[in-house]
Chain A
Amino acid sequence: MEIHCENISLTFQEKKIFEDLNFTIKSGENICIGGESGKGKSSLLKIIAGQLKPTSGQIVFDAIPLNKNSIKSIRNQLIWIPQNINLPVYNGKQLIDLMQIKKNTALVKNYLNDLGLDNTFLTKDFSKISGGQKQRIIISICLSLNKEIVLMDEPTSSLDEHAIELLIQLIKKIKNKIFISASHNETWLQSVDKIIQL
Chain B
Amino acid sequence: MEQKIIDLSFLELLISIATLLIPFLFFWIYKIRLIKSVIISVIRMIIQLTLVAIYLEWIFDKNNAWINSAWILVMLLVSVFTTIRRAELHWKNFAIPLFISGFTTIFIIDAFFLGYIIKLKYIFDAQYLIPISGMLLGNALNNNIIGLNSYYKGLKEKEELYQFLITNTGNKKLALQPFLETAIRKALNPMIATISVLGLISLPGMMTGQILGGVDPSIAIKYQFLIMIAIFVGCTMNLFLSIILANKNAFDSYDNFKSDEIVKEIN
A68 to B182, CA, bound (A): 29
| A80 and B170 within 8 A (CB) | no
B165 within 8 Å of A by Cβ? yes
Contacts of A99 on B, CB cut-off 8 Å? 165, 168-169, 174
In contact, B253 and A68 (Cβ under 8 angstroms) = yes
Mask, B231-263, CB within 8 Å of A = 1, is 000000000000000000000111110000000
Interface members, chain A 57-95 (any B CB < 8 Å): 67-68, 71-72, 75-76, 78-80, 82, 84-88
For B153-170 the 0/1 string (1 means CB < 8 A from A) is: 000001011011111111
Measured CA separation A139–B255 after assembly (Å): 24
One of B161, B163, B174 near A51 (C-beta < 8 A): B163
Question: Which A residues are in CB contact (< 8 Å) with B209?
Answer: none
Interface residues of A in 134-148 (CB under 8 A from B): 142, 145
Q: Is B178 an interface residue (CB 8 A)?
A: yes
Contact A87 B170 (CB under 8 A): no
Known contacts A50-B254, A68-B254, A88-B182; A145 and B168 CB within 8 A of each other: yes
- How far, in whole Å, are A49 and B255 apart by their CA atoms in the complex? 12
B residues at A contact (CB < 8 Å): 158, 160-161, 163-170, 174, 177-178, 182, 252-256
A: residues with CB less than 8 A from B are 46, 49-53, 67-68, 71-72, 75-76, 78-80, 82, 84-88, 98-100, 142, 145, 151
Q: Sorted from nearest, which 7 A-B pairs have the closest CB atoms?
A: A68-B253, A80-B167, A75-B170, A76-B170, A50-B254, A71-B254, A51-B163
